Structure 1
Amino acid sequence: MTRTFFKKLLVASVSVLALGIGIYAYACADGWWGYSYVSSFTPEAFADDSYKPLFYAPEEKFYDYAQLEYIEKDKDNILADWQQYLGAALPKNKITFYLMNDSSATEIEQLYRELQGNATQRSGLLASKKTQNFVQFLHYAKAIEASSTTTFSSWDYEDRIVVQTQSSLVEDIETFYQNLEKPDAFFANRIWFQVLKAKFYSDDRGSVIPFFEASANKQPKNDLYYRALGYVAGAYYQQSAYDKSNALFASIFNDVPSKRHEALYNFRPLSADSLHQALQQADSKAVQASMVAMNGYYHDAAEAMKRIYAIQANSPHLDFLLTRWVNAEESKVNDYYNVQKSSYPWDASQIDKETLNWLGEVLKQPKKLHNPPLVYLAYGYISMFCKDHEVAKTAYAKAARYARNQPLVAAQIRLFSLLNKVSQLKKVDAKSEKDLLADLTWLYQEVPQDSVLTKSFRYEYASTWIKTALSAVYANNNNPLMAELLYSEQGFYDNKEQGARMEEFLLQENKNGWNTLFADLYPYNLSDIYESRAIYAYYQNRIEEAIDLMERATPQQVRIDRGYDDIYYNAAILRGNPFNGKIKDCNDCDHEAPQKVKYTKLDFLRKVQELKQHIERGTDVYTNALLLGNAYYSTSFFGNARVFYYNTIIGEYGNYISTKNQPYILGMSNAKMYYEKALSAAENKEQRAKVSYLMAKVDRNEFYRKSYLQNEEYYWADPEQAMFKAWTGFRNLKNDYADTKYYQEVIRECGYFRSYLAQENGKGR
């Protein structure tokens, strides 16, 4: 197996930082939508990437599913350091090979033996003192890696052998370090670190503490220094000296941005009393602020902010805590699942007003803060939820004074200012349209195309909320067309007049900028609209109108992935013959059965119209009414032609039918009406037997609808209550038509009817 030596080396050098809590792993859950689906406050705008894993993410271990990157993150720096040190003494590809490839071990040990032997017999590669140092370093590092890189599966309860660095190796490398004459600073620094690593992975882990304390002052405060400090913190942690380990992790957190994630991960959260004691171990106010910030991450961000401000008002660590607090507060107000109902403007009853007021006090001296625009925006944003719109407006204006050459901050200010305006609207008139249009155009047309902003800017929830809010304003002012245009809701097009007005509006030329913007944003095209109106007209038994509308619902091409797919609309083919009325409902069987005629949606409507005309003329009323009853049955939820009502606006593709559409899709009134016409026109017992059975199916479906299907939550029916009801059609079939051929066919095909008969016969005995 090939594995890089660098990976082992790096894991060994920082793995102490995984001692505090333990290794974690997780992956994106199905349905991950990102943070902007419920949030409009973008933490990336206010704190650098070193804080990013620590942003608010209540459903993840760390923000954006960040992993502890022990392995690769310093790879380039380590290679670059050694390449710079060795210079021309060793080719770069050789340096990479020795550091990163396991197969180099044999060659390294051969070079080491040469180094220990007769100087006159050394190869040319060892002619340089620096290459000799490199080989010496590799010899020790590879020996230590046997213990520093040992891992085991958390599920393996058999093989948990912990390999410790042998005491002889610890003594050897420490002696080598102590005996360095006129040391090369670069080489000495790396050997010093190897001593610490060897001690940490020995049976005397605590020995790293006195060695570090005695020697660290001679070392530069570089990356190795802080990795070594992590070993010391880990040793204290193992000794349960958490006040000392936390102080060291806080120092790493404060001084080394690239290690903030690991330091916080291994920090042991403290109670208030324990935190007070641990703060005594910190050697500066900056480290004290770090410790409070780390503890606040695990506990109370608001309380931690206040304490940090008292210790060091301009601490940058206050910033990431404030973003966490704001994101938590907005989550109390923003609700993705109810945005369509719009809590317009907002319900701020749960907002932490005490901390909000504290921010207001802090902003009386903004120059004391590390990031004034963040605090102004946080204060204004949460104040806006509390309907303090003038306070919010002033705060946004003050934030703008600081936000120069910061596109993400400027975008955040512009978005919040827009939200503040929209949330105060009582009506939309020419003045408000003029005031809002430029910002709305920016939000809906420019932001989604801005490659800088779309990386992290949270605008999606706000863009949905704004359309919903404007829709609510229009609805309150009796303008259903604009209310629908801004936020579509089911049922708009079952109203004939509303559908006609929307068609007229969308076809209108020379719209003003406001109407053009929202017409372009409307998610449905004219074919969607015509088709939905045609479907509603059909269920309302306005067939001529339905045909006219469906004729206009012409197939469209939409881009799907890398190609174009047709959306068929009036050319969509019904999967089963909708005019068949069979004894047994088996939609899959009907879909697979050979069909002499394949009906499109438009063909189907034209056939329905033809059958209606025959009935109106009195031509073979029984047959034509029976076929129409079958048609309405088949185009219901219970039938084989559900495709007929599939439409993006109507939106019914599953097993739960929305309340608005239940009368149409679950309703049996049209089918029942035509079956009753057929029964009245029946000329013999065979015909009446057939209609009686089909009407029993209608009664059964009406029972299912009223008892179960109208409930939003799926209900498992009690078989004793649901099955073998004495439908009127069943009684008629049993009592009046037992001597028909159709009766025998029903007995053969319908187990439901056979069970009903058995139940009835049982009662007779």
Structure 2
Amino acid sequence: MKLLRKKTIIITACVACVLSAGMYLYACIFEPEWREYGSVFSPEVTVNNANYQPLFFDTENAFYNGQYIDASSRDYSRNDVADWNAYLRTQLPTNTIYALMYGESPSLQTLKANKNERVQNFFAFLQIARNNEPITATHFDPWNYDESKQAERIAQTEISKADKLYAQALKQKDAFFANRMWFQSVRLRFYSANRSSVIDYFAKTQDAQPKNRLYYRALYYVAGAYKAQKQYANANATLAKVWVGMPDKAQMLTYDYHPLTNAQMNSILPSLSAQEQCALWAMQGYYDKDEAEAIQRILAINPASEEVDFLLSRYVNGVEYKVNVWNEDNPLKQTATYHQHNKKEMSGLAIDWLVNAAEHTAVKNKYLWNVAAGYLLMYKGENARAKAFLQKAEKEAKTPEQQAQIRIIDVLNEVTSCKTIDKEVEKRLLKRVQWLWHYFEDANDNEKGKLRSGNAFALVRQYLAALYHEKGNILMSELLNFQANYYKNEQQSVAMEQFLLKTDKSEWEQHWANYYAFNLGDIYESRAIYAFYRDAIDEAIAQMKQTPYVNERVYDEETGRMVTKRLKKSDALLPANPFNGFITDCHDCEHAKKQRNPYTKLSFLEKVKEMEAKIAQNDDVYNNALLVGNAFYNASYYGSLRAFYYNNILGEAGSLRVKDENRVLLLGMDKAKQYYLLAQKHATNDEQRAKIAYLIAKTERNEFYNQAYFYKNRDGANYDDVMFKDWKGFKELRKYPHTKYYKEVLNECEYFRKTVK
């Protein structure tokens, strides 16, 4: 048995809470991490038991989705108030009972006037329970460094008071009040200086108590006392008993569980009932690297045990974690690679026991076992057997979600069984793929997240795209699973344009065209952007003009919501004047300036064309070259016009990073520098020469950053890294100390000041 250490739980911006047994837990909330490893098997649907949800598989957090044990997990108030309400009959209103038991400043003296015997018992109970709250209900504050390490303990006199009231209740044969005071006696002993005394006290008095929730809450204190003594075997055996009595506290109990060796397990199992043994193995299995042993142990004890369900879901999700490795950073390129990887991972897993149990064992959740068997057989490449189990599961499905889970896996099974792709395969898969897409789309629209259809659809797209690529059908491969560099190839771009425009698509082609990541507007806009950075301005204008009106989801500042608007990409407004060139690059400052006639993407290109025409005609070359240089500078990552290259195909939309495939395009300074150097040649006075020298220095700085940091996969420089050098532009600028521009740079640019002796 290989045991995992308890997952490390980070104490950062988290909730700290105290378990009822006096242990502490720190935990954080995270986004569902199953999205990260391509999970398709949903325990929320296949297990469908809220008690076990925190114990589902999670690779990052101590508990599923970062669920922490908060005050509500330890809140017994509803049951307690209901019990006292029934005991007191109509003597006190329910809200009064609650206020007296749990209010911040209860006025217990108001009960003295009521001479009803049961009310007086309630008063006596409250005096014990509430007067000791400063000790029994203290929450540990991990950030309070002044907190005393020596926690205050319950005095023996308080325990004696509780014991006396318990004895009186027994004598008066008041079973309810006796039970309540017995619990207080147990509780106070746990918080006393002699915590271990709770063990003997419980053993001597438990037979007189009903096996209600209060009994198991008291037993939880016994487990805590054993754990405090590091008697983990006894503590765990006791926790197993509590599990049977309070299965809704499975998360708390599992957290308090201390993993055992085989020898330790064997030493305590004989003392437990069959149900308690199953609970013990459930907690042990949670900490095992491989849940299979615990599952099989439980099946041998009681095949109908519910505890086996969450362990089986963890086992299946654990297999997924190893097998489903295909994502944006590790795309599936060949179907052979997919099957080889699965064969390698699954060869180390003996799942015959699981398949046999699904076929022959009288498990309670037949649906879960059949789905699990079918799903894992799919990864072993036994697609026909997988389908047979999925068909069995279909007969056991009780909810629409359970039926949908089967269909999701069935689509995966059908798709990954394909060794090639042709018209017959397309026809066979069409309805399945259409259903999966619409289910995924509906789940997103309705903000439902129980089923992991998105991960399934992603794998379907990647696998089918790989099949097309292997047949040499690059267009269909792109249509199903777009690639970053596809549109850099002009022939491929034209081929996709023609495909999207054609009117005689097959039903299969039309489906994928409908849900392709990009539209014609994206394609034309991307061509225009690529052409601009090549300085092919006529081509850029022609492509930008082709962008059609399309429905776009945009943020409406007035309503604060995403809305659909009919827009033309060429009409998108640019946030700053493209032709300004300032000493400092302050994007926010430039965006904040009000523009009288803001440029659109198209009008910007047309203005660049106008200026380049003047340069060609030798008309005011300095100013026109300067402005065109500014245009290329501002349209780079370093400039104020990043919005120009925001495009779905380029995959750029405002991030502080530039995608690897776009680095040369968007970080490059070649065109800006080319036009600045041209302007430098045509400068007629020192003010112009000073300005151009500095602007060239800025391009040299950016080229240095590219080589030193960005091209080396670094997002930026560290504090002690080189930030500037004495660029050629700086040296040139120092020739013009008499100019106004020199003085402005000296005032605004600290880097330049450091080069001036």
Please state which band the TM-score falls in when normalised by the shorter chain. Answer: 0.7 to 0.9
Q: Give the counterpart letter for 2:553 in structure 1.
A: V
In the other structure, the counterpart of 1:530 is 524
Q: For the structure 1 residues 269 and 452, does the alpha-carbon distance in structure 2 shift closer, same or farther, using more than 3 Å as the test?
A: farther
- Give the alignment partner of residue 395 of structure 1, picking from 389, 395, 417: 389
**Offset of 1:342 from its aligned partner?**
2.0
Partner residue in 2 for 1:148: 136
Once the two structures are overlaid, the 10-residue window that deviates more, 626-635 or 257-266, is 626-635
What is the alpha-carbon distance in structure 2 between the residues aligned to residue 695 and residue 108 of structure 1? 85
Is 1:348–2:342 an aligned residue pair?
A: yes
Q: How does 1:541-620 map to 2 (within 5 A)?
A: 541-553=535-547, 558-560=553-555, 561-562=560-561, 564=563, 569-580=569-580, 598-615=598-615
1:331 aligned residue: 321
- The code of the aligned residue for 2:400 comes to P
Of residues 223, 229, 232 in structure 1, which corresponds to 2:213? 223
Query: 2: CA distance between counterparts of 1:147 and 1:738?
Result: 78
Say which is worse superposed, 652-661 or 455-464, in terms of deviation: 652-661
Displacement of 1:547:
1.9
CA distance in 2, matches of 1:512, 1:188: 78
In 1, the alpha carbon distance for the partners of 2:624 and 2:476 equals: 43
Q: What is the Cα deviation at residue 109 of structure 1?
A: 5.5
Structure 1 residues 535, 92: CA separation in 2 closer, same or farther (over 3 Å shift)? Answer: same
**SS class of match (1:25):** strand
CA contact (8 A) 2:573 2:600 kept: yes
Q: How big is the shift at 1:606?
A: 1.0
**Displacement, 1:226?**
1.0
Choose the corresponding residue for 1:724, options 723, 726, 732.
726
* RMSD (CA atoms): 4.0
Q: CA deviation at 1:644?
A: 1.8
Any idea what SS the aligned residue of 2:305 has? coil
For 2:294, the equivalent position in structure 1 comes to 304
TM-score (norm 1): 0.81
CA gap 1:257/1:590 in 2 versus in 1, 3 angstroms: closer
Q: Which residue of 1 aligns with 2:433?
A: 440
Q: Counterpart of 2:97?
A: 95
Q: 1:229 to 1:721 in 2, by over 3 A?
A: closer
Q: Distance in 1 between matches of 2:119 and 2:607?
A: 91
1:387 Cα shift?
A: 3.1
Please give the residue correspondences for 1:679-758 in structure 2 after superposition, counting only pairs within 5 Å: 701-702=702-703, 704-714=705-715, 716=717, 723-724=725-726, 727=728
**CA–CA distance in 2 between the matches of 1:630 and 1:446?**
49
Look up the SS of the partner of 2:351 in the other structure: helix
CA separation of 1:220/1:70 partners in 2, compared to 1, >3 Å: closer, same or farther?
farther
- Distance of 1:101 and 1:745 partners within structure 2: 71
| Aligned-partner residue type, residue 399 of structure 2 | Q
Q: Which residue of 2 aligns with 1:83?
A: 85
Q: Which residue of 2 aligns with 1:173?
A: 162
Supply the distance in 1 between the matched residues of 2:678 and 2:189 (Cα, whole angstroms). Answer: 95
Deviations 1:94-146 (A, max 9, x none): 333333334433335524xxxxxxxxxxxxx434x544443443344334545
Deviations 1:420-446 (A, max 9, x none): 222233444332233223232322223
- Are 2:154 and 2:189, in contact at CA under 8 Å, matched by a contact in 1? yes
SS of the aligned residue for 1:24 comes to strand
Measure, in 1, the Cα distance between the counterparts of 2:576 and 2:750. 23
Q: Distance in 1 between matches of 2:98 and 2:194?
A: 33
Q: Distance in 1 between matches of 2:156 and 2:422?
A: 83
Residues 1:268 and 1:108: Cα distance change in structure 2 (over 3 Å): farther
Is the deviation greater in 586-595 or in 240-249?
Answer: 586-595
Q: Name the count of aligned residue pairs.
A: 721
Report the Cα distance in structure 2 between the residues aligned to 1:172 and 1:680, rounded to whole angstroms: 100
Contact conserved, 2:257 with 2:283, CA < 8 A, in 1? Answer: yes
1:380 aligns with 374
Quick one: which amino acid aligns to residue 479 of structure 2? L
Q: Would you say the 8 A contact 1:167–1:202 is kept in 2? A: yes
* Structure 1 residue 250: Cα displacement: 1.0
Task: Give the counterpart letter for 2:634 in structure 1.
Answer: S
Cα 1:485/1:740, change in 2 over 3 Å: farther
Question: In 1, distance between residues paired with 2:752 and 2:103?
Answer: 76
Equivalent positions of 1:359-438 (< 5 A) are 359-360=353-354, 362-363=356-357, 366-401=360-395, 403-438=396-431
Gaps of 5+ in 1: 1-13, 112-124, 759-765
Q: Give the distance between the partners of 1:163 and 1:586, measured in 2 at CA.
A: 58
| Displacement of 1:73 | 4.1
Determine if contact 2:57/2:64 at 8 Å carries over to the other structure: yes
Gaps of 5+ in 2: 1-16
In the superposition, the TM-score normalised over structure 2's length comes to 0.82
Cα displacement (A) at 1:249: 0.8
In the other structure, the counterpart of 1:105 is 107
Show CA shifts across 1:273-293 (max 9, x none). Answer: 22222324x322332232222
Partners of 1:200 and 1:206 within 8 A in 2: yes
* CA displacement 1:714-750 (0-9 Å, x = unmatched): 464997897235x5x788999xx98997997899688
Contact 2:579 2:630 in 1 (8 A): yes
Q: 1:666: which partner in 2?
A: 667
- Do the aligned residues in 1 keep the contact of 2:411 with 2:436 (CA within 8 Å)? no
